[in-house]
Amino acid sequence: MVASLLLMLALSTDESDIHDTGLIRTDDRRCRVRIPGGQFAASLAAMLDKSL
């Protein structure tokens, strides 16, 4: 499998589901992005970041 990097422009983020206990932040962050180039140029996408 070959991994590739893709540049994206974040249009908006939603962190309303994130729980902050002061020490640990958990849950999901959602964002809408625009892909400016490549095979999916001008596409809009919704992303979910579960790395918090």
Q: Which two tokens stand for residue 13?
A: 């983020």
pLDDT of residue 51: 59
pLDDT over 60 (residue 33): yes
For 3-32, the pLDDT digits (tens) are 567 788 889 988 888 888 888 877 888 889
Q: How far apart are CA 16 and CA 31, in angstroms?
A: 11
pLDDT of residue 11: 92
Strands 25-26 and 29-35: unpaired
Residues comprising the chain, all counted:
52
